[in-house]
Amino acid sequence: MAILNIRREGDPVLRQVARPVPKVTRRIKKLIKDMGETMYHANGIGLAAPQVGVGERVIVVDAGDGLYALVNPRLEKEEGREVDVEGCLSLPGVLGYVERAARVVVSGLDEDGRPRRLEAEGLLARVFQHEIDHLDGVLFTDKATMVWKEADEKIHGEAGAPGSPYGPDQEEQGCVSSSWEPPGSRCRA
């Protein structure tokens, strides 16, 4: 296994639509293992193959329930909507509010090439959607309603603090989700 180089915003591979994987081969299995190791090394909770320079439809996700690897993942069903804060390993230090489905059904192939169908909600659903967006050349900042640097949050403090990136009434409106506790837990996918 190897730690792979994570591509940063501005790298053209992040804006390209990834190719479907025709078959899960030893190369794809190694890619999955390397991506998982890279994600954990970077303290991430999700990683898509384009983020490591590979233009193929492969993602790894671990939102606290163990590692999921999907080849050619698809969103089959989306329910509900929620807004929460996201970050990205390809955009270090950048955060933003993104509206996504609260619950999803995702399908694809597992690391052995077998069909897999997963139901996810909350953070896990959010990470699957974030990573599948990467496969389509979409960054979270493309969908964010507000974007700011993490350093601004550290300087200005919590929601509603003078100069913070979000106002005091946004917490009451549900814009700051309780699923994002403690504040140090950020979706960096």
- The span from the CA of 85 to the CA of 149, in Å, is 12
- 32: closest CA among 90, 134, 110? 110
Place of tokens 């960054």: 139
3-class SS of residue 130: helix
Q: Is 131 a catalytic residue?
A: yes
Amino acid at 70: L
Q: Residue 72's CB: how many other CB atoms inside 10 A? A: 18
136: left (phi over 0), alpha (psi -120 to 50) or beta: alpha
| Catalytic, out of 79, 131, 172, 181 | 131
- The span from the CA of 36 to the CA of 48, in Å, is 10
Please, is 130 exposed, middle or buried when counting C-beta atoms within 10 Å of its C-beta (0-12, 13-18, 19+)?
buried
Active site residues: 131
